[in-house]
Structure 1
């Protein structure tokens, strides 16, 4: 790492901020003699010293730059500038399947990533601990969907032409002339639910008895199981119908050909369609809400159905933004630490991302999950008293091989 500026202690920052405030106050009272005695060169030195207290940057690797700033509030902000042509951007789930949690630093060390930030929202505790609650597609494998219409970011292995927008995804099981809707994928199944379980979830469906499960491998039904917790074939899936709707699949038999149809509904307005740029994405990560669109802050988040306290409260935040030239910004704002950083509202976060040149941006999981890691070490100050919070998934960064 090549340090460009070293960030001094917080006490120095407060000293210079106090000096700047004192100068402004003195001037406002008409007492200008103090400033007039300073020649231009000395005043310029003071300005440069003040700026050095508030900002620092490091080149982590070719195509990857780290910056941090201390802003009034106080606010501790750090971000990664990523050139996707020189840095590979990948998603990693903590568990072997769709469950489990790990810290961001542990995930980065396991994979040999040079930097990482936390990803999407997830369940904490219970039998589905670590299950993503939003859209999640990792290296072409669907792990999770979203119950509500929410934002997402999608990208190919190249990292270029990333998509950020509101998105819904719909699955349908097709067997001959029959169509069977899918309520969710890889989630808990209620009595009236129809859930699709893929091999990315776990070895079995973990469902309770009482339903009926259609086991499909290599596009053909291999078994119909009354009960629950059926094994999930590696080359297929299980369509699980709860007790109240199990008779809807009563006509199905082993040997029938079966396949899944997938449709995308960007923006919540157009009719769902299998033809979408989203279908070409190797990685899709859900978040909420979309913060920036076409270079402007998004006004209002009602379409994504999130609580006012989440919108207007000050919290630690993690966000991803894309500049016009394709550069990625992975930003973390510390919070819930009164003397160091109080956090941001979503409107403030959106404005800050616009100030960094982002034309599109998405809020990711925040709070105690907000973590930015470089070379295996968290560079921010996570808000949980125990330190880094184990998370469901993370965005990992790797140098691309030189040609």
Structure 2
């Protein structure tokens, strides 16, 4: 067993550096186990502010040409599945759960939860969806400066990085160009128009018109409109958002409030051109990306990370100038509920080797799996809080080409 001393510290008031302090807690890492060439697995334990916590760590070496990462998802944005099932389906040798998601709709009777993620997602270079407004997110409070558009991912240059993906798009009809404010997401900005493609799945699009940019629980809009565009022409219209599969090559446009009033100006047969893309803040295209708020940047935590509330957590991090990827999930269940605060999570990821890291969905969603290349099914390594895996919308998968 390898023992590493960890200095649990507090943030300097108003700053971003760790305060100097003597080591108070010990992070105990068990010896490495190889999952596949370039991929290792470890268990760890430590005594944190709320008690003893246990966790699991996967490390992937992107410097190896046979190792890669990609999004795990059930085949649709608005769908959920167990991490082990998604890993089996994709052939991943390891993985964890991913972004926070639209898990419930108790504040909107009669409206179904979509299961769609909060942030943007890219799989194998294909953009799947954009971010909901900050006020519509699920999950713990983000630190100042963070947004639902924050992601962790891997570029086409095979280097991992933190980034921010912003939807850039428009629809053009009758000589007018209107901004596109959503792409396959469970909540649209007030007054916006969103595009839904075959990647969305079969879930109802009604949830997209509920809440406001600052209040997830606000009532649903009563001013909505939807139209279907096929071969660049309006093929159908409806007063309310619908459900069901969207044909490949077709786009459904959903408008709320001012956006709905704009869509009502169009008629069946009108020509409509829809363009959309996700624009990164940093140079270079991302081949894979998933939403999560940063807890480490260049080896330091951002100011304002919560240091009071402990929970079972999942995180992803980067080291080795973006060539090493870390996936971490804590144990849940009655024997392991103490968890970590977000500030402690940042320190764990830093001590594991990460320079940059994001907090992903935790609690009952926290799941880490591994699969030997010759095994048919992935093995759940941690103890999920609910006693079994929770169905989630996406995750991060590690792949090894043989």
Same fold (TM over 0.5): yes
Which of 102, 125, 129 is residue 143 of structure 1 equivalent to?
A: 129
2:400 aligns to what?
A: 399
Deviation string 1:242-277 (CA, Å, 9 cap, x unpaired) is 3664332344453525132446373xxxxxxxxx53
1:176 is displaced (CA, Å) by 6.2
> Among 80, 87, 101, which residue is 1:122 paired with?
101
Q: Which runs of 5+ in 2 are unaligned?
A: 4-25, 106-111, 135-146, 210-221, 372-377
Contact 2:329–2:367 under 8 Å retained in 1? yes
Pairing of 1:196-345 with structure 2 (within 5 A): 196-203=195-202, 206-207=205-206, 211-218=224-231, 220-228=232-240, 229=242, 232-242=246-256, 245-252=259-266, 254-262=269-277, 264=279, 266=281, 277=283, 280-288=285-293, 290-300=294-304, 312-325=308-321, 326-335=323-332, 337=334, 339-340=335-336, 342-345=338-341
Match of 1:37 in 2: none
Structure with bigger helix share is 1
Q: What is the match of residue 42 of structure 1? A: none
Does 2:159 correspond to 1:182?
no
Using a 3 Å threshold, how does the CA distance of structure 1 residues 181 and 398 change in structure 2: closer, same or farther? same
Larger radius of gyration: 1
Give the equivalent residue in structure 2 for 1:305.
none
Q: Is 1:89–1:157's contact at 8 Å kept on the other side of the alignment?
A: no
Q: Alpha-carbon deviations, 1:341-394, whole Å to 9, x = none? A: 62111111111211222121111111111111112111111112x322111112
Contact 2:78–2:203 under 8 Å retained in 1: no
Q: TM-score with structure 2 length normalisation?
A: 0.72
1:396 positional shift: 1.6
1:128 is paired with a residue whose SS is coil
* 1:164 paired residue number: 162
Aligned length: 330
Structure 2 CA distance for partners of 1:366 and 1:110, relative to 1, 3 Å:
same
Residue by residue, what CA displacement relative to the aligned partner does 1:299-321 show, whole Å, maximum 9, x if unpaired?
225xxxxxx6xx63111111111
Counterpart CA distance in 2 for 1:163 and 1:342 is 30
CA contact (8 A) 1:203 1:232 kept: yes
After TM superposition, the score normalised by the length of structure 1 is: 0.72
CA contact (8 A) 1:210 1:226 kept: no
| Aligned Cα root-mean-square deviation (Å) | 3.2
The CA distance in 2 between the partners of 1:349 and 1:52, in whole Å, is 12
Q: What stretches of structure 1 of length at least 5 have no aligned partner? A: 8-12, 14-50, 267-275, 302-307
Change (3 A) 1:203 1:367: closer
- Contact 2:333/2:384 (<8 A) preserved: no
